[in-house]
Amino acid sequence: MEGAQAYITKSVDFKFRGKGFSFALSQGLFSAAAIDRGTEFLLKVLSRQWDAQTGQGLPLPKTVLDAGCGVGVIGVCVAGALWTPDANLDLERHVHCQDRDELATVITRYNARQNHIPEGLLSSHTEPLLAGPPHARWDLILSNIPAKAGEPVLRDFIVRSAALLNPKGSVLVVVVAPLGDFFYRQITQANLSLQYDELGKRHRVFMYGPSATPSPPVKPVVGGGYLLRDYPMYHRRQGEYILEDLAYSLDTIQGAADFNTPSQAVQVAAKLVRRLPSDLFQRTPLGSILIYEPGQGHFPRWLLAYLAQNRVLGEASSDRCWVLFGRNILALEASRYALSGERVLAIPGLDLAIDHKRLKEALRPEGYGFDLLVGFPQFVPQTKRLIPLWEGLGELLSPRGLAIIALPASEAERFDRKKPLGFTRLGDCKRKGFRALAICRA
């Protein structure tokens, strides 16, 4: 679990149903200092519900979905309560944890192992909310759902989650108190079975089940480049943008930043590309392009237009591969959509050093590395990832490859000072507190 350990910044203890747990936290994820109060509230309500069910002789759930798992507190606690080391593992019982952030799913996996949860009982997946096996149905869906997901996503979650339940299944969700009335209206308007409703100091918990009347069937959310086409609740806006005097269109999504305008990091990277020698890309073959943390897709979409304008790329070719790599699966799907018509692979991961083997496997068999690597690293506080970033570049750049790294100016200066032997700087550009560096092998 090397990837998780590189990003862990704190560990805390927690108890659920009399059993002790220890959870690793990270400054790169929600609730980095302590277990979130909403999560505590949800688990408290869940424990009371289970006491009532067992008192009535009712079985506890076998199939559980932890939607938006974060570091896995809910899923690991549920799995730990459903199984004890001296009992046989029920092969029908399973907790499926999901989060859009690869760091969350990696640390969830780490926390499950640290708390001695069997691998067959809990699994952790980087995927959109309510994704999962195509025909999966759940006895229990749990979620501490973030308010910033956006009302279209929240509205869809309520309806879709109820439709993904087994006949006697339930959804138990906790929301911040200001969203309580919205959730209550949506549950009642969808004619769902509201089983429980409790308002706390800062949060509100709802338990609901399927509608008593038949409703149209729904399926779990699936990716593969069709997220914006098939799931309109994720669509934020369709816009026309101009970056470095080059116009391009882009569909942006809920769940990622920079939906109105490209970030300063993207803008300074584009400016640096414009400043590089005009024949540089003609001299450098572009059979493989890696975009690290592509966000909404502004830079890959702009780069595609720029290279086409400068006659570097012609029609889409099966010999050329774009690899999109980053933590947020929703951002990867949006960027994949922005490159429609190109050969694109989307690979969730943590950083270039930890995941360099997976990224190299994406290259065509005869490839020695990526011909162009553009990165927008998002360093997590209290972790040291500058030297590993250089190590990742060393593993992934082809002998004639070019890397462009855009960072806040202070981080870019520290990154530049750590430059090891074997690399040289071809270009440097600063803009509004951000800096981009063009790097190649010496």
What are the structural domain ranges in the chain?
Answer: 2-209, 227-441
- 112-145 confidence digits (pLDDT tens): 999 999 988 999 999 999 988 888 899 999 999 9
Q: What is the mean pLDDT of the chain?
A: 91
What's the whole-number mean pLDDT along residues 134-159?
92
Domain 2-209 has CATH 3.40.50.150: yes
What's the whole-number mean pLDDT along residues 247-260?
88
The sheet carrying 193-199 orders its strands as: 122-126, 94-99, 63-67, 138-144, 165-176, 203-209, 193-199
Identify whether the C-beta of residue 373 lies closer than 8 Å to the C-beta of residue 290: yes
- 78-104 confidence digits (pLDDT tens): 999 998 665 555 667 899 999 999 999
The model's confidence at residue 315, banded by pLDDT at 50, 70 and 90, is very low
Residue 220 has pLDDT above 90, yes or no: no
Residue 169 has pLDDT above 70, yes or no: yes
Residue 383 has pLDDT above 70, yes or no: yes
Cα 334 to Cα 338: distance, rounded to the nearest angstrom:
6
Residue 19 has pLDDT above 60, yes or no: yes
pTM equals: 0.94
Residue 50 has pLDDT above 50, yes or no: yes
The pLDDT value recorded for residue 313 is 55
Cα 100 to Cα 104: distance, rounded to the nearest angstrom:
8
Which CATH number among 3.10.20.30, 1.10.10.10, 3.40.640.10, 3.40.50.150 corresponds to the domain 227-441? 3.40.50.150
The pLDDT value recorded for residue 312 is 61
Residue 253 has pLDDT above 80, yes or no: yes
- 420-436 confidence digits (pLDDT tens): 999 999 999 999 999 99
Identify residue 185 by its one-letter amino acid code: R
Query: CA geometry: angle at 202 spanning 200 and 207, to 5°?
Result: 50
Fold agreement (2-209, 227-441): yes
As a whole-number percent, the residues of the chain with pLDDT over 90 amount to: 74
As given in the structure block, the two tokens for residue 60 are 């506890």
CA-CA-CA-CA torsion for 404, 407, 410, 411, nearest 10 degrees?
A: -80
Name, in order, each residue with C-beta under 8 angstroms of 142's C-beta and a sequence gap of 6 or more.
42, 46, 64, 65, 66, 67, 74, 75, 78, 171, 172, 173
What's the whole-number mean pLDDT along residues 167-191?
96
Give the DSSP H or E segment for 157: helix 151-163
**C-alpha dist (Å) from residue 175 to 70, 123, 179, 182, 333:** 15, 24, 6, 10, 26
User: Does the CA dihedral 164-168-169-171 come out positive or negative?
Assistant: positive
DSSP string of 67-118, one letter each residue = ES-TTSHHHHHHHHHH--TTS---TT-EEEEEESBHHHHHHHHHHHHHTT--
